[in-house]
Amino acid sequence: MNGAWKVAIKRVLQGIFLILAFPIALLSAFGRLESIYLMFAQLCALVPGLPGDYLRIAYYKLVLTECALESRIQFGSFIAHPQAKVGRLVYIGSYCVLGRTQIGDRTQIASAVQILSGRRQHGRDNEGRIQGSEADLFQSVSIGADCWIGAGAIVMANVGAGSTIGAGSVVVEPVPPGAVAVGSPARIVRTNTGPKETGPPG
């Protein structure tokens, strides 16, 4: 099968799954009814195999602020906020949970990654009680284009384009473009200009 046929078949499948996803997108008012949106996002996460990949991306195309059909979201992964943006040719592995985030083109995210909505700490009311999500304290976390986010990483701050986040790392401070960050909390070990310089001991 030549490349043109593969592209044609893919376009047909994308169209079919957009039609299948339309009713549940409509029930969520195309993402505006967030509790219904999240219920269907979690339901779509449980559909296995290639049909699941097509269904998830079709649903998110219809309900997210922005989502490219050319991307792929694997089994068990879901996006918790309809305000998210997913660029072109993005790959999201299995069992990921993504909050209010913007993901740049061609970024690849390994399995079991969490990208949390950027809230430094839980808000508290005047009596010191934790405020829930109804307080709307969420901020968007941006992942630039052409990034690699390793398995099991937790990302709570912006990651610049072309950066690599090591497996199991916890990102609590912004990572500049072209950097490699590893550890918990994540530390920059290399940038696009070479190894990170450190000051004299002591």
Return the active site residues.
122
Question: How far lies 70's CA from each of 42, 106, 121, 154, in Å?
Answer: 21, 10, 35, 25
Burial 7-38 (b: 16+ CB within 10 A, else e): eeeeeeebeebbeebeebbeebeebeebeebb
- Is-contact 156 171, C-beta < 8 A? yes
CA distance linking residue 84 with residue 141, whole number of Å? 9
Question: Taking the mean position of all CA atoms in its chain, how far away is CA 179?
Answer: 19
Burial 72-95 (b: 16+ CB within 10 A, else e): bbbbbbbbbbbbbbbbeebebbeb
- Is-contact 110 72, C-beta < 8 A? no
Question: How far lies 2's CA from each of 7, 8, 50, 87, 120, in Å?
Answer: 9, 10, 20, 26, 50
